[in-house]
Structure 1
Amino acid sequence: MPSGDAITIASAAFLAVGGFLFGYDSGIISSTIALPHFKQYFDSPSDDTAGGIVSSFQGGAVLGTMINMAVADILGRKMTIFSGSVVSLLGSALQAGSTSMAMLIVGRFIGGVAVGMLTSTIPMYASEISMPKWRGALSGLLQWFLSWGFLVAQWLGYGCSFSKTDFSWRFPLAFQCVPALILVTGIWFLNESPRWLMEKDKHEEARIVLNKLRKGENASQIDLEFIEIRDVIAADREIGKVSAMSILTKPSWRKRLLLGCGIQAFGPLSGINVINYYGPRIYELLGIGTQTSLMIIGISGALSIVYCTIGLWMLDKVGRVKPLMVSAAFLGAALLVNAVQAQYINPDNANQLRSMVAMNFVFSLFYTPLGIISWVYPAEIFPVEVRALGNAITTFTNWLVNLVFAQFSPSALTHIGFRYFLCLLRLQPHRLPLLFGSSILKPKALVPHALDDPVGAMAMQKETSLSAHVEERQV
């Protein structure tokens, strides 16, 4: 029998296939809309249409997170992931078989619904089954697998770009079915979240699952974790019934919601997805051809795997807040360098072009801490009673901001070119108040079900006293 650590790590790695699906679905469209045969088949889509193809995915993801707000705590973590994966299969089939632009956009929208459901469930699920020593890294696997998905999308798109038929864009879109099928078939071999089971008063089932996940550990430690989860849930019930509005009306939860939404919004506000979705368009402004630009993006994707591997290794060693501050500073610097160079761009100056491409690589490097932590942090800071709702709302924020950038970026790049990056640069200083605000909440030192106080350092004391109160009443 495998140890509890092996089961937990394998479970988190499997869940992160949803991150691969997210990365692949997001990445494949950048190469697809740049391919000559795609443009020929759909009669050279306009900027607004290209924006619609990309933003329909983001719009679907917004709806997917809204669906999660309503059903994630009812269906449970496993069934939510299964449902999202089935929806993904439907969307992928429609995209690959598209005979009209409307069919393609509907397929992208449905695929987005699926990814919205998955991305607002998987980090939370991974956090709930993980042991404290691995919690940050296992939750952050979503971003690592996302990078792999993006890498495969870019190189598959690059390889298929040499095809002289519609295969060049249909096959890459059809490949989205592969990770979805893996999730559909494999999710039933995972254990349900013990915290969700206990929230539904399935205590015996939760104990069995917890024993599997912590197999090999001291029995008293497993019992202590079981009691801790049970008592935190009981304490909140003792205080009063939790409703969907509680996350807004309770000050400490509202503060966590603001921090989680802010950190999730930082990702798209950085401009990362403008570069990811419209990379070929950006490099076209520099005079670089489609196939060369796809190769550059593929190399950047390969380096992202290295960045994410190092980032995951460091995550639980350096905490969450300091990497976010470093990320914000250097992302702004990289944007500034390219925005300034773009004012004096000379397509015949090879050194300048190489410098601007290199700045995009630097940008990708320093996005890594933000990319990982934006999924880990919101999954850690909410108490179990509102974790699914809180995680769904923070993910909703990410997709909503993405939707705006995805729709309007093609027109912006056409009309103002690289000056668009000056607009992105102006958004960077607005991160700092939230980054400093997040320093009061450092989940590195706390377990998720103990986070229920405006100041993170006091959370354990409060929950301990509440748990003791419940124990006295039970006796």
Structure 2
Amino acid sequence: MSDSKDKTANIVHNIQSISDQQNSSTAFEIDKEIDSYVYHDKSWWHYSHFIKLHWFIFALTLSSTNSGYDGSMLNGLQSLSSWQDAMGHPKGYVLGALANGTTFGSIICIPVAAWISDRWGRKYGIAIGTSITVIGAVLQGASTNYAFFFVARAVIGFGFGITSLASPILIAEIAFPTYRPTSTAIYNVCWYLGATIAAWVTYGTRLITNSYSWRIPSYLQGIIPLCQIVIIWWIPESPRYLVSRGRIEEAKKFLFKYHTGNDTSERATNLVNFELLEIEQALELEKLNSQSKYTDFIMIKSFRKRLFLLMFTGAMTQLSGNGLVSYYLNLVLNSIGITEEKEQLQINGCLMIYNLVISAVIAFTCYWFRRRTLFLASTAGMLISYILWTILSAINQQRGFEHALGQGVLAMIFIYYLSYNTGLNGLPYLYVTEILPYTHRAKGLNIYGLTVNTTLIYNGFVNPIAMASIDWKYYIVYCCILAVEFVTVYFTFVETYGYTLEEVAAVFGDESVSKPFDQKSFEKPSSEHVEYEKNADV
């Protein structure tokens, strides 16, 4: 224990040394808050350098379209008789394995994804991941049977696993500080952009009477990754990566160009110097991260609470009933008597457009609300809509699939997704980041990701089997799960809104709070932090 304290003290000393060096070289006193250096008084679209930077960020968010495209495409393909014939009419666990193909690939790439981005840079990580995804899409389109199609999907998942790690990291590391939370949250919104594209592509290709009705959507899964391969070389490398490699001048050049518009005034120079200091301090703190252990999440009381929240939040994102519609919408529609191919594809396409709009609106406004409030509103809304969904489905089947009741179920699906997107689309990643101290953040996110992938596998195998066996009765399981989620969120989730990342440690009862920028004792949420979140210009 004393050795750990000595190491921590050394690192804090190193951080202070960096701060002293920075002070002496810049002729101004380093303040503790980024707000002291942000001097732009207009919205971002009034500045050409921000427009260009945000265009780069948008190009990076396209990485998440692949996952959305994949789920929506598979939904659409299941409605195509030509695909069913080519794959041997998969059902139950056979269909589940196919749906999980990309998940298996993503799990396999976990050991190498972070290493690639740290070793060669975020840009090269994205380039490698998208290249593998394009290869997988070509193999998928050329598939001749179930096994071929499954392997192709695993290749796609492997490539996406690398890209989905590197892209959000690069977004967070190049974004301007006050726009960083929204820029990061928008990443997951593009999941629905990919889903919308796939839904309407499969709707259009349904008119083709041969195998190209499903081959074309499969090939097109590689189009957006191919575009990213071309665009990525114009996107700048992360200044944090550059600093970690000793390329300080390149990092400073990036910050001046994209965060100040090459403004050389004193206030712009102060902003750049502060950001460089912040990066250097974070790199010093990574030495603490190397001392942390996964067993801390079990051995330390406050970390056991964090472990529970990490795993429960990850499970909620995939185990709240959304897996039924994401990959098996046709089974849900069949259960309420909507079996016509064209109508199923139209519903899939309209649902994805709806989700895209709703999730985008929420991403731009969620920072005005408390995290716990959003989780409670989300789980309550999902629970109510699922209960009504279940009741209407039961009555609909008893009455021989009346059109009006079927439309009622559809309405509940749309209401359900309004609730889901409110709390479980972009918010979970932000929340789990806030509850983790810097020393354990990377390991905590790995636990969170593993939980998400585990529940995805459950969805892939259990959902199609249960739907084929008991139809609407399976919804009762999710009603129970959602009820447990609401109660658990109410009694166990801590509020992180308004707290700095360091102050959250006190909420968990940590004995000491390490603050590299401010050593004040914890008292209450920082008013500056609250105003920062409310006024962050989107």
- TM more than 0.5: yes
The alpha carbon displacement at 1:65 in A equals 3.5
Cα distance between partner residues in 2 of 1:308 and 1:320:
16
Is the Cα–Cα contact under 8 Å of residues 72 and 388 in structure 1 kept in the other structure? no
Q: Does 1:453 align with 2:505?
A: yes
CA 1:196–1:260 in 2, change beyond 3 Å: closer, same or farther? farther
Match of 1:227 among 250, 256, 277: 277
**Structure 1 counterpart of 2:317:** 267
**Structure 1 counterpart of 2:449:** 395
Cα distance between partner residues in 1 of 2:156 and 2:439:
29
Q: Does 1:357 align with 2:410?
A: yes
**Structure 2 counterpart of 1:471:** none
Once structures 1 and 2 are overlaid, which stretch shifts more, 64-73 or 322-331? 64-73
The alpha carbon displacement at 1:429 in A equals 3.3
Is the Cα–Cα contact under 8 Å of residues 35 and 169 in structure 1 kept in the other structure? yes
CA 1:382–1:260 in 2, change beyond 3 Å: closer, same or farther? same
SS of the residue aligned with 1:191?
A: coil
Is the Cα–Cα contact under 8 Å of residues 124 and 387 in structure 1 kept in the other structure? no
SS of the residue aligned with 2:419?
A: helix
Letter in 2 for 1:34: S
CA 1:125–1:30 in 2, change beyond 3 Å: closer, same or farther? same
SS of the residue aligned with 2:256?
A: helix
Match of 2:458 among 394, 400, 404: 404
CA 1:91–1:417 in 2, change beyond 3 Å: closer, same or farther? same
**Structure 2 counterpart of 1:335:** 386
- Structural mapping, 1:119-134, within 5 Å: 119-134=164-179
Letter in 2 for 1:268: Q
**Structure 1 counterpart of 2:59:** 14
If the length of structure 1 is used for normalisation, what is the TM-score? 0.88
CA 1:248–1:122 in 2, change beyond 3 Å: closer, same or farther? farther
The alpha carbon displacement at 1:389 in A equals 4.8
Is the Cα–Cα contact under 8 Å of residues 54 and 406 in structure 1 kept in the other structure? yes
With CA pairs under 8 Å and 6+ residues apart, which has the higher RCO, 1 or 2? 1
Letter in 2 for 1:426: C
Letter in 1 for 2:148: M
CA 1:49–1:293 in 2, change beyond 3 Å: closer, same or farther? same
CA 1:118–1:406 in 2, change beyond 3 Å: closer, same or farther? same
Once structures 1 and 2 are overlaid, which stretch shifts more, 361-370 or 189-198? 189-198
**Structure 1 counterpart of 2:17:** none
The alpha carbon displacement at 1:41 in A equals 2.2
If the length of structure 2 is used for normalisation, what is the TM-score? 0.78
The alpha carbon displacement at 1:431 in A equals 2.9
% identity of equivalent residues: 22
Once structures 1 and 2 are overlaid, which stretch shifts more, 172-181 or 48-57? 48-57
Cα distance between partner residues in 1 of 2:363 and 2:234:
26
CA 1:2–1:356 in 2, change beyond 3 Å: closer, same or farther? same
| Coordinate RMSD, CA, aligned | 3.0
**Structure 2 counterpart of 1:313:** 364
Cα distance between partner residues in 2 of 1:426 and 1:8:
45
The alpha carbon displacement at 1:210 in A equals 2.6
Q: Does 1:85 align with 2:130?
A: yes
SS of the residue aligned with 1:415?
A: helix
Cα distance between partner residues in 1 of 2:444 and 2:54:
24
Q: Does 1:25 align with 2:61?
A: no
Q: Does 1:463 align with 2:516?
A: yes
Q: Does 1:96 align with 2:150?
A: no
Is the Cα–Cα contact under 8 Å of residues 58 and 406 in structure 1 kept in the other structure? no
CA 1:344–1:324 in 2, change beyond 3 Å: closer, same or farther? same
The alpha carbon displacement at 1:361 in A equals 0.6
Structure 2's unaligned 5+ residue stretches are 1-45, 262-266, 521-538
Structure 1's unaligned 5+ residue stretches are 468-475
**Structure 2 counterpart of 1:45:** 90
**Structure 2 counterpart of 1:298:** 349
SS of the residue aligned with 1:462?
A: coil
The alpha carbon displacement at 1:46 in A equals 3.2
Cα distance between partner residues in 2 of 1:429 and 1:120:
32
SS of the residue aligned with 2:426?
A: helix
SS of the residue aligned with 1:186?
A: helix
CA 1:373–1:436 in 2, change beyond 3 Å: closer, same or farther? farther
Is the Cα–Cα contact under 8 Å of residues 321 and 438 in structure 1 kept in the other structure? yes
**Structure 2 counterpart of 1:419:** 473
Cα distance between partner residues in 1 of 2:128 and 2:293:
22
Once structures 1 and 2 are overlaid, which stretch shifts more, 298-307 or 389-398? 389-398
